[in-house]
Structures are given as C-alpha cells and as structure tokens.
Amino acid sequence: MDVTFRIRRQNPEAPGKEKPYWQEFALPDVDPTDRVLEMLHRIKWEQDGTLSLRRSCAHGVCGSDAMRINGVNRLACKILIRDLGEKIQVEPILGLPVIKDLIVDMEPFFDHYKRVMPYFVNDDSLPEDGRERLQTQGDRQQFDDTTKCILCACCTTACPSFWANGQYVGPAAIVGAHRFIFDTRDRAGQERLDILSEPNGVWRCRTIFNCTPACPRDIEVTKAIGEVKLAIRKGTNVGIIETDAIH
C-alpha cells in the first residue's frame, strides 16, 4: 500500500523555519504491519535526513518515541500502519517546548516527576534476619498497576489541565507518587501527599479521562489519581487505604 505522511516540522534555531509548518512525504510499498517508527526511519534515511525524532529501544519499553499520531498520543514503535490508514499525521506531543520537529524538551516533565519523590524511602532497621522487607500479595496489588509507567509523557501531554497550566505536576508524576504512597514498606507517603495537596498538585485534575486511553501500558491513570485524592481526603499517611468506593 501507498501511504502519505503529514509531519509537523519546526526548527526554532533555523532562519525561516522558526514557526511550525507541515510537510508531506509519500511512501510506496508499505506493508500494513509496518510500524510508524519504521516509516519515519524510511523518510529520514531515504527522503529527508533533517527530520528529527527521538527513539531508542523500538520495543515499547523506553517510551522515548512518544508523539501525536492522527491526533492521539502514541508510541511510534507500537502502532501499526494498518490501524491508521493511508494518510497519517504526525506531530510532537503537546504542552512541552519543541526542540526540533518531533523532539520536545522533556525537562519540565521530569522536573514535575522529581518533585513527588519517586523513590523508595525507609530508614527503619531491617528485619532481624537481615533480609528484605516483605509484604503480602494483596499489599502489592494496590500499586502493581502504577509500577508499569515508562515515563513516556503520553498521559501528561494529553491532559488539557497541563496544557492550560504547565505548573501542574501532571498525571505521570501522580502515577509515580501513587506507586510509593501505596507501598506498605515505604515511609514517605505523607510527604508525597502533602506535595500533591499543593495548588499545582492533584486537585488540578478535572477527571477528563484523556490520560487513561493515552497510556501505552494500559495503566488506569484516572483511577490512580482518584485513589491519591481519596488518600489526601482521608489524611492517610501509610501505604493502605480502602479504594472500593472509587472502583
């Protein structure tokens, strides 16, 4: 099949190309099971070597090739041509500064992520046997879903609240905090809840649900955000709350 790519391009440092513009590329002999990333490689290698994009593993693990494809945030390495058709529009994810073409500045995103202390905190003495701190399978299940985040920014850059106010920590940061807030072995849950209680924290979420379908790892992002809100309302400072009320 023949496929036409319409790509939003921008080079803020190049005279005459500072503003975004659209460029089309025709690709013949495309297999329906080819991935968008492979076709972007063809464009770069065969037609225009100046096309810039970010990618690494090409297997949906690193999250580096997140972009807006036919109006939806996706990983270019996962989506197949047959699922998009013969006309495909590609642009950078929204809400972050464009460095060049499909590459955005991820620093603001990671700054928000670092704010929520996305790491394990426990200074208590180890168990007497000196081995690891244990927890039940039930305890683990409370945060198992949010361990799958690959920091691709698909959820955060699909969020209208983030578009409107870049100071909002965004869904990905809340998901990262959730993973530790509900870990019964962690001891910094209340600190994270305090951070997320601030004006640009979790309460800027308007439950629009854009984040959940945008996640390439099928994390129930809106559910995780709701659980964090409930934990703040209940004043929870340990890793467990009753979540049945919002399931």
**In the chain, where the domains are located:** 3-104, 107-245
Alpha carbons 135 and 130: distance in angstroms, whole number:
15
- For 172-194, give one letter per residue: b (16+ CB within 10 A) or e: bbbbbbbbbbbbbbbbbbebbbe
Better pLDDT: 241 or 143:
143
**Amino acid (1-letter code) at residue 218:** D
Predicted confidence at residue 89, as pLDDT, reads 98
Mean pLDDT, the chain, as a whole number? 93
Percent of the chain surpassing pLDDT 70: 95
* 40 vs 18 pLDDT, higher one: 40
| Whether the predicted pLDDT of 119 surpasses 60 | yes
Q: Give the residue from 67, 45, 43 showing the smallest Cα distance to 54.
A: 67
Give the pLDDT of residue 242: 47
Query: The domain 107-245: what is its CATH number?
Result: 1.10.1060.10
Packed helices 189-196 and 171-181: angle between N→C axes, nearest 10 degrees? 160
Least confident window among 173-177, 228-232, 240-244: 240-244
- Beta strands 87-91 and 3-9 are parallel
Q: What is the pLDDT of residues 57-87, one digit of tens each?
A: 999 999 999 999 999 999 999 999 999 999 9
pLDDT above 90: percentage of residues in the chain: 87
pLDDT value for 236:
54
Residue range 3-104, CATH number: 3.10.20.30
Task: Report the alpha-carbon distance of residue 17 to residue 10 in Å, rounded.
Answer: 6
Residue-wise pLDDT tens digits, 98-112: 999 999 999 999 999
Query: pLDDT per residue over 125-145, tens digit each?
Result: 888 877 888 899 999 999 999
